[in-house]
Amino acid sequence: MTALEHLQSYLSFRSELATTVEACDEVYSFTIAAVDPVHARGSELIHHFDLPDNHNWSVSLSDVGSEVLRAAITSWFRDDEPDSVEQLMKSLRALLGDNYSVRKVNIAPDHGRDLVPMYEVEWEDFLLQGQKETCLLHFGVSD
């Protein structure tokens, strides 16, 4: 199993766990996917989402540090196991390399009030760029 496949499996488990623990009609989605480095810019990253022609999405990127990423993971995992956050951070370093950049993906409608098509009720996406890999890390919940 590759490092990316390991992370995909782990995040799938964590999203199923979050959905079960919350015991409501919400479905959690935690994913990681490789991104072509050519599309690792805000305007180009939109190609990763495979949107229909009538979309109104505008995508931009904000440079943030690993502490913002750590805080997001802690918030989304919502558990009493601090090791789970460290485990994911360690796995990300194994996948990306020790020195990687973290950029928050900002998605907003470029016209209108709502995203077309709808994305998630709540989400946080990060573009992670390292020496070894470029990935999109997604945390979201839908109802």
Q: What angle do CA 21, 5, 135 make, to 5 degrees?
A: 90
pLDDT along the chain (143 residues), means of 10: 93 90 82 90 82 90 95 86 88 94 93 86 95 95 88
Say what the pLDDT of residue 64 is.
Answer: 97
Say whether pTM exceeds 0.95.
no
Alpha carbon of residue 120 to chain centroid: 12
Query: All domains of the chain, ordered by start, with CATH?
Result: 3-142 (3.40.1000)
